[in-house]
Structure 1
Amino acid sequence: MNGLISSTPSQSAVRLTISGFLLLAVQSALLLMSPSLTRDAGTLIWVLTPLALCAFVAALVGVPEPPEGHWRQRHGR
């Protein structure tokens, strides 16, 4: 997968970026809707923030794809 930094980013990289930003938007909306930050909301924020950050970093760098014949070598043929 080509990352967002490359000249031709792949569709998966764009999807990862959008999903990461959507997770951050959901987190912000939850914070704005709650009158006071409870323990459950704090836990949700601490779970969503690293997940969104990992999606953004994976989209920037790009995830390596296995070679085409990779699935054929699993069975020892």
Structure 2
Amino acid sequence: MNGLVSRSPSQGAVRLSLGGFLLLIMQNALLLLAPELESDLRGLIWFLTVIAMAALVASLVGPPEPPADYWRRRHGR
């Protein structure tokens, strides 16, 4: 699968980056709505940040594609 830095990025990479950015928007909305940050909310914000950054890195690299003949393999024969 081609990542975002290739000439023709794949749909999976684009979807991963869009999902990561949507998580960042959700995180910012939570920050704006909270008058004071409690420890539970801080934990949720850090958790969403880690997931969003992982999605961005995965979209830049591009997940690996399975081999073309994967469905033709016979297992145990």
TM-score w.r.t. the length of structure 2 is: 0.91
1:44 aligns with 2:44: yes
Name whichever structure is richer in helix by fraction: 1
Moved more, 63-72 or 7-16: 63-72
Alignment RMSD (CA, Å): 1.3
In 2: Cα distance, 1:46 partner to 1:71 partner: 39
In 2: Cα distance, 1:74 partner to 1:8 partner: 33
Q: Where does structure 2 lack aligned partners over 5 or more consecutive residues? A: none
In 2: Cα distance, 1:5 partner to 1:67 partner: 22
1:63 aligns with 2:73: no
Report matched runs for 1:1-77 at 5 Å. Answer: 1-73=1-73, 75-77=75-77
Could you tell me which amino acid in structure 2 is paired with residue 57 of structure 1?
A: V
Question: Structure 1 stretches (4+) deviating beyond 6 angstroms?
Answer: none
* Offset at residue 11 of structure 1 (A): 0.6
Could you tell me which amino acid in structure 2 is paired with residue 37 of structure 1?
A: L
* Offset at residue 76 of structure 1 (A): 2.4
Could you tell me which amino acid in structure 2 is paired with residue 50 of structure 1?
A: V
In 1: Cα distance, 2:53 partner to 2:76 partner: 38
Aligned length, in residue pairs: 77
In 1: Cα distance, 2:32 partner to 2:48 partner: 15
% identity of equivalent residues: 61
In 1: Cα distance, 2:50 partner to 2:2 partner: 22
TM-score w.r.t. the length of structure 1 is: 0.91
